[in-house]
Each structure stands twice: as C-alpha cells, then as structure tokens.
Structure 1
C-alpha cells in the first residue's frame, strides 16, 4: 500500500555536525555503562549568572507565574529582557540609546530571521560567510535556499588560523554581490579573534558596497589575547555616513551567561525598518518563551561594574582550561595540531600529520560515539566531538579536523586528552 512520502528537502537532510555524535551515541546498546564527555556542542556545564539563577529558584514570586499561568509575551519580547541584552552591550562602554532589539527563541532563531531579512527565501543574491563557518548558518542557508559565498581561512602547523584577507573579502563582494557579510568576532568554530581594527575595516567595505554587516556576538567579550573586546557597536561613528543603518548583531543568553537551555536570543540593529519588519516576520512564531525571558531579564538590573566582573571571571576560567587541554593533547598525541585559542570556547584539532591518508573526521567521530570506550580507574569513557567537514563549504578541507568545545566539568576535561589519544590509536588500528 502506498504511503505519504516526505519532501525532497527532508530526504536530503542529515543531522548538523554539532549534533551528529550525540544522536549516534544515543543509539548505543551500552550507553548506560559508558560515561560520555560531550565536547561536540557548546552546551556549557556551568551555573548561570547568579542573578539568573536567583530568578529561576524563585519563579513563583513572579505575579504572572505564581498561579501556574505562563501567558504569551509580545512578539518583540519583554521590555526587561530587551533591556538586559542592551545592558550587556553597554557594559563595553557602548551607547545603546539608538539601537533596536527584539527577542527570539535562542540565537538560532535570530540567525534564521536575520537571513530572511537580508536575503529572503530562495534568494538569487548570496550571503557571505568566513570559511570555516558556524554550521548553523550553512544549515539555515539550505533550509531557506539562500546561496552562500565565502573566503577561506586555513590553520597552519602552529595552530594559528590565517588572518582575514581584507582585500580578498572586498574582491569577493564586488564579484558576487552578496546581500550581507556575516562575521563572528569571537569565532565559532576556529576560536579566532577579530579585533576592532579588523571590524572597522570590514565595516568600511560593507558601507562602500551598500550591504548589511551581521555580527554574531554570542561570545562577546570572550577574548584571551591582550586586546580590548570588539563589537560592531564599537565601530566609530565617523566612518558611518549619516542615516546609514547597516548593522545587525545576533545575541544569545547561552554562552557568556551559561544559560544554553533558556533558549533566549535577540536581534539588535541600528535599522528601524529592519527591526519592525523582523518583528512582523516573527509574529508567526508568536513570541519567545516567557519563563526564559523573565529569568534572563534579571541582567537588566546589574550594574556595568557587576557585568564587567562577570566577564573577567568567565575569561579567566576558559583561559585556564584552554592552556591545560592544549598542553595535554600535545603531550598525549605528539604531532597533533591544536588551534591557538584567541576567543570563544572552541578549538580545532587537526590530525593530518599523525593520521594516514584514509583518515576521515566523520568516521572517527562516529567511532567514538558508537563503539569507542576507554577504561580509566574502572570507568568506561568516550568523547563526543564535531567533525569539521560540516563547517566548511568544501567538506574535504575539514577531512582531518574536529572541533572541541570546552564545556564539560574540568575534572572530565583533565582526562580528555588521554581518552582522545587512546580512541585515535584504536581507530587508526582498525
């Protein structure tokens, strides 16, 4: 008997690279025996900011929720929640008085709405990314049928990603005429930092080319170099023509505030038209979740000094982790290339100099998730990683690379290099 068939779009869909290992592991017969260290996705395993945690612990004290009611909010989002994101930006000594913000269900929804706003579905004009790019932008471009162009970044043998070639970016824009350029100053997946000088140069190109500049600032201000935090909201006004509104930032509660599961994000822009139309588009989603908005709204009442103190605490924590994991991996696997972390919470491992020519990061990640196990003190462990093939437009470039997110407990991260080393050697012997 005939049965309904799914669309060709669904038939061709595969899990995102950052979820691939988790899905594979969930189907393991021995998943209840093997302890998993999930470094495939940036699911931060730390308590939320204290102000957020306090609100979560006292939800019933809110008048709306005290009787078990959870009503819709306005589509634009609660005023307090919007003020919270703007307060976080203003802590970097930025004037936010002329910025517009709407709240979304996580940064991912903000990305999709942004792409609809700058390109539109089935667009003939492309969007421009920096390759390798956060896989969700590539996934949404497929969902919305938006073409993608990119400039390449390569990791050298010292773990340093090549600096952006501003001239090449300008040439690509002239040739392909994208509707927008997306940058991630505190980069995911590379961990590269784009300082203010670079952002200013990129802004000049976008202004000259009359295109949108989109900055994903989910990891602002996680920078581990001796440089000031950067942001498109710190671009000097003297390089922006009067009444020229071209900036959009993607905001998130997830990483800096350790609140991944709140699923609260935002779209900030200096364009009133983009702001109003993005709200119109988002009315189909009704609104972002009310409870998450209320919890995150606590940041609206923190002082700049308190927010800066939190930023410093976060940066110090991740700097220590990166140093230990980098040293551990190079000790356990001599010859492996580990990207030098400049920002965000990720690093790239490249096995090209220690693996044979048949090595494939997809296969290695699947091996770790489906059958790999390492015994340490009578406990079985495996590690989940993200294959970098899903972050490059040309997947072959990422054939020997995986992304690692520093999101687990430090005690688990301390044994991660040993586990990856043993898993790699086991996989290589197959």
Structure 2
C-alpha cells in the first residue's frame, strides 16, 4: 500500500535508535551504561502520586474539556504569573498530551505548505520533523559552538525570507544545555517583531538551571513580544512526570483556540488522571519540588564535565541547564580512524557498552549528546570506558 508522502520525509529518531540498540545488548546480558536518557531518573514526587490516586477514587476518570480542566488551566496561569511575571486568560492556554503534542498541534494550525520555520541547530530532534509533517519547511541555522550554540540576531535576520512564519527558541536547550540571557532575547525579539515572525519558545527545562543565571521567558520582556510568542512547557522535566504526558501552550487566543479545536479531533483531551496529578504539581505552595533534582544534577554536571575534559580528543562547552552535555568528539573520531561520529558511537556501544547519542540527529555531526540523568558511579564508569576506547584506537 502506498503511504502518505508526509511520512516518507520523516527521519528516524536518533535517540530512540540508540536506546533500542542498548536495550538489545542489555537483554543479551551485557553491562550497558545508557547516556541517552531524555528524562530525570527520579520517580514522580509522592504528593503527586497521591493526588492521582485520589482523582481515581473520586471518579475523575471521564472525558474532560479538550483544552484541559479549568482548575489546571488556572494553576498554569498562576504559575506563569508567579514564575515568569506573565498574565494569561484561560482562552490563551491549552493543556496537551505532553509538550511534544503542544508543538505538533501548533505547527499544524500555523503552517501552510512551504511556510518556513527557522530552526537553530543543534536542535531537538522532533522540531524539524513536526514542521515537515505540517508541510512546512525547516530552515536550519548553525548556532556555532564558539557562540555557545546560540543563534545571533545577525544570523536570524539573514535567514528570514518572505515565507518565514516562525522561529524556535529553546532555552535551556536540548541538546546543548545552553540558555539565552535577557539582552540576547531582546535582540532576537526585535528581529522577530520587525519581520512579523512568531516566536515558539520551548521552556520545558526552565526549572533545571545550575548557575546564578536567571531563566527569562522572551514573552515577559514586553507586551509586544508576549503577543508574538507561543510558550511551550510542561511538567515532564520539572516534576519528573515524563510518562504522565502533560504539557501546555500559552499564547494569543487566535492561535490557542484552533489548537484546542484540532486537539478535540485528535486526542479528545489529555488523560484526566494525569491532569489532576499536574494540578497537584502546580498547586504545591511549600517549596519547589524540582530543587532536589537541581542539586543532584548540578553535582553530576560538575563531575562529568571534569571527566570529559580529561579525555584526549574531546572538548566541551559547559552547559547551564537541562541535563545534557554536548561535547565535540571530532578530534577523537579522527584520531581513532573512524569515518564519522555515528560510526564511532556505534563501535563505542559495541565495544565498551556505552550508549550515547550521535549529534547527527540534532543537526551537529561533530558532537554527541550525553545525559547525566544517571548515577554518579555510572557516569564515572562511562567516562573511564570512553577514555579507554579512545586510547585503544589511537
């Protein structure tokens, strides 16, 4: 049977491919260290689990409004006011089946055939695929390593055409862990306003920052930028709720309303129980449940960053947030005699049983992504294995 053209352009997920291979080796009895995880290695906090159980017992197991239960939307509105100094109305917020679905739905309602979306690279693997599924065209701009993998206003301006509809800004970033400061966002925002470009601001890692730098939502800088921005966020990373699949988008009602209509014909609504769990996550008043994760991730970052920089042929820009390192391994690959980072990473997995994700899937073929969402002992062991692999192949 002939499949739709839209799926023929999709690129398989690099993260899922390496995870599948690592799992296969584990099932064969090998001691595999996986550095590909895109989720915190903590269980969801107990008070959220309790809220889900109470929701089930109370009969909250039925359909809900497509855009989310009113209580959760209000909790999200309160979160924006508390954390980002932003004011939204309920018709400017949609709760979705994960932040990924928020992005997917946004591009479906935003893009016509061949509309362009500027995607700074390195990028999260799903951005270009979601644009293509909406028949749009991802326009890649190389956010250079010497600029901490961040898009410059000059680069953004040069990439704009008459077909440019939007630009994606992800801060803190997956896969690099880098983040934009207020001045950088102001300058990018100015270009967007001058060219009537919608800003898609992915802020899913906003709670996982390990420096004194403050997360700044570009929508909070001015009323004009708020009106020109759709924020994507969720509870997956901040509350270790990846499997619950609750995300959301906030922006102009003329965008959020059709997103809600589209969701009503695709998912009907996010899972009712998960919504009540997310409501508990955002209703807790006594402290930040992500603070413990930040402390642990910060320690792991310091350890792994130091270990990687001690390995010949590897250089690494130190990230400020998320839970990834994105080292450049091109010199190690060259010294080892491999033709590409992909080939090098595949052999590393086969030989030393260390699974990391080649940067090719993120638009950066000289790098690899390592997640430090595993124990310190495992990170130390993985670093030793990587170092041994490189030295053995010199």
TM-score, normalising length: structure 2: 0.90
Counterparts of 2:10 and 2:283, CA distance in 1: 43
Aligned residue number for residue 19 of structure 1: 16
Kindly indicate whether residue 264 of structure 2 is the aligned counterpart of residue 283 of structure 1. Answer: yes
- Give the alignment partner of residue 111 of structure 1, picking from 97, 103, 108: 103
Equivalent pair of 1:182/1:213 in contact (CA under 8 Å): yes
Shift of the 348–300 alpha-carbon distance from structure 1 to 2, 3 Å rule, reads closer
- Give structure 2 stretches of 5+ with no counterpart: none
Equivalent pair of 2:246/2:274 in contact (CA under 8 Å): yes
Counterparts of 1:313 and 1:96, CA distance in 2: 28
Equivalent pair of 1:118/1:212 in contact (CA under 8 Å): no
Equivalent pair of 1:161/1:192 in contact (CA under 8 Å): yes
Aligned residue number for residue 161 of structure 1: 148
Kindly indicate whether residue 375 of structure 2 is the aligned counterpart of residue 385 of structure 1. Answer: no
- Give structure 1 stretches of 5+ with no counterpart: 65-69, 374-381, 393-397
Shift of the 176–50 alpha-carbon distance from structure 1 to 2, 3 Å rule, reads farther
Kindly indicate whether residue 358 of structure 2 is the aligned counterpart of residue 343 of structure 1. Answer: no
* Alpha-carbon distance, 1:25 to partner: 3.0
Give 3-state SS (helix, strand or coil) of 1:44's partner: coil
Aligned residue number for residue 67 of structure 1: none
* Alpha-carbon distance, 1:342 to partner: 1.5
* Alpha-carbon distance, 1:421 to partner: 2.4
Kindly indicate whether residue 182 of structure 2 is the aligned counterpart of residue 196 of structure 1. Answer: yes
Aligned residue number for residue 395 of structure 1: none
Equivalent pair of 2:333/2:341 in contact (CA under 8 Å): no
Give 3-state SS (helix, strand or coil) of 1:338's partner: coil
Give 3-state SS (helix, strand or coil) of 1:150's partner: strand
Counterparts of 1:86 and 1:385, CA distance in 2: 37
TM-score, normalising length: structure 1: 0.83
Counting matched residue pairs gives 390
* Alpha-carbon distance, 1:8 to partner: 5.5
Q: Any idea what the Cα deviations from partners look like across 1:145-175, whole Å, max 9, x if unmatched?
A: 311113212224xxx62553212212322x3
Q: CA RMSD for the aligned pairs?
A: 2.5
Aligned residue number for residue 90 of structure 1: 81
Aligned residue number for residue 275 of structure 2: 293
Counterparts of 1:87 and 1:8, CA distance in 2: 42
Q: Any idea what the Cα deviations from partners look like across 1:70-126, whole Å, max 9, x if unmatched?
A: 322111111222233333333325132446211111111111111122214xx2220
* Alpha-carbon distance, 1:227 to partner: 2.0
Counterparts of 1:52 and 1:172, CA distance in 2: 44
Counterparts of 1:14 and 1:171, CA distance in 2: 27
* Alpha-carbon distance, 1:336 to partner: 0.9
* Alpha-carbon distance, 1:265 to partner: 0.9
Kindly indicate whether residue 202 of structure 2 is the aligned counterpart of residue 210 of structure 1. Answer: no
Give 3-state SS (helix, strand or coil) of 1:320's partner: helix
* Alpha-carbon distance, 1:274 to partner: 0.8
Aligned residue number for residue 341 of structure 2: 361
* Alpha-carbon distance, 1:330 to partner: 2.3
* 1:177-326 correspondence runs (5 A): 177-237=163-223, 240=224, 245-269=227-251, 271-285=252-266, 286-303=268-285, 306-307=287-288, 310-326=289-305
Aligned residue number for residue 42 of structure 2: 46
* Alpha-carbon distance, 1:400 to partner: 3.0
* Alpha-carbon distance, 1:423 to partner: 4.0
Equivalent pair of 2:9/2:132 in contact (CA under 8 Å): no
* Alpha-carbon distance, 1:130 to partner: 1.1
Counterparts of 1:422 and 1:62, CA distance in 2: 56
Counterparts of 1:32 and 1:56, CA distance in 2: 36
Aligned residue number for residue 368 of structure 2: 402
Shift of the 339–258 alpha-carbon distance from structure 1 to 2, 3 Å rule, reads same
Give 3-state SS (helix, strand or coil) of 1:213's partner: strand
Give 3-state SS (helix, strand or coil) of 1:413's partner: helix
Q: Any idea what the Cα deviations from partners look like across 1:401-426, whole Å, max 9, x if unmatched?
A: 21112212333223221122234456
Shift of the 144–32 alpha-carbon distance from structure 1 to 2, 3 Å rule, reads same
